[in-house]
């Protein structure tokens, strides 16, 4: 009987130790969520054309051209605060993490950073690019950047950065065998791009 009691107590202690280690690891990971990000700068040349016609669209007034250099700053990362207990498996000095997918946390495409090329941009007689036209061109450019983000390598680079950071933290916690995976390789974007702003597909 005494032996059975001792074995039971040992099992409870081992389970308690494992849960304490899991809690410590998860707490440490969640506390560093602000660091698990990557900032990427994308330069984009915006070209827009405006063709204006009059008299029942029979006569062209000339084509106006708009060309500008723009810059978008995208912050991507993992919401580590969304990690659930079942996403962490610990066996002695071995830990396995299953992280949420990479997400666009911030997308900054400031109008103030637009540099219009005055040489290439030109207005036609009775047909000029207005502020509203410029805003439309820039909205379409932003939609185009968002649409092609996942093809820029931004997901892979962010995953590597997150892995590197967490490997350092978990090594400091005493883990010797560390496995980090992601639930999806897709890029999550919270903003839905309106269909009318999506650039046309190439034939």
**Residue at 10 is within a domain:** yes
pLDDT digits (tens, 9 = 90+) for 115-170: 988 766 666 554 577 888 889 999 999 999 999 998 999 999 999 999 998 998 88
**Residue at 86 is within a domain:** yes
**Residue at 159 is within a domain:** yes
Model pLDDT, residue 73: 95
**Residue at 203 is within a domain:** no
**Residue at 179 is within a domain:** yes
**Residue at 93 is within a domain:** yes
**Residue at 202 is within a domain:** no
**Residue at 148 is within a domain:** yes
Cβ–Cβ contacts within 10 Å for residue 84, how many? Answer: 9
Please report which confidence band the pLDDT of residue 20 belongs to, taking 50, 70 and 90 as the band edges: low
Q: Could you give phi then psi for residue 41, rounded to 5 degrees? A: -110, 125
Q: Mean pLDDT over all residues of the chain?
A: 77
pLDDT digits (tens, 9 = 90+) for 3-13: 444 444 333 33
Into how many domains does the chain fold?
1
Which residue range forms the structural domain that includes residue 74?
A: 2-197
């Amino acid at each position: 009987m005494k032996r059975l009691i001792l074995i039971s107590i040992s099992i409870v202690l081992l389970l308690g130790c494992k849960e304490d280690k899991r809690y410590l690891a998860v707490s440490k990971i969640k506390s560093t969520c602000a660091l698990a990000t990557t900032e990427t700068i994308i330069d984009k040349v915006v070209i827009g054309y405006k063709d204006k016609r009059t008299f029942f669209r029979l006569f062209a007034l000339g084509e106006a051209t708009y060309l500008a250099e723009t810059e978008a700053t995208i912050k991507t990362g993992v919401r580590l605060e969304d990690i659930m207990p079942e996403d962490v498996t610990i066996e002695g000095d071995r830990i396995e993490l299953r992280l949420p997918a990479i997400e666009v946390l911030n997308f900054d495409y400031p109008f103030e950073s637009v540099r219009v090329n005055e040489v290439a941009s030109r207005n036609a007689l009775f047909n000029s690019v207005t502020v509203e036209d410029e805003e439309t061109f820039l909205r379409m450019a932003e939609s185009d950047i968002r649409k092609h983000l996942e093809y820029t390598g931004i997901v892979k680079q962010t995953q590597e950065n997150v892995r590197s950071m967490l490997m350092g933290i978990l090594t400091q916690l005493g883990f010797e065998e560390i496995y980090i995976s992601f639930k999806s390789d897709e890029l999550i974007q919270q903003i839905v791009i309106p269909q009318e702003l999506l650039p046309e597909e190439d034939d």
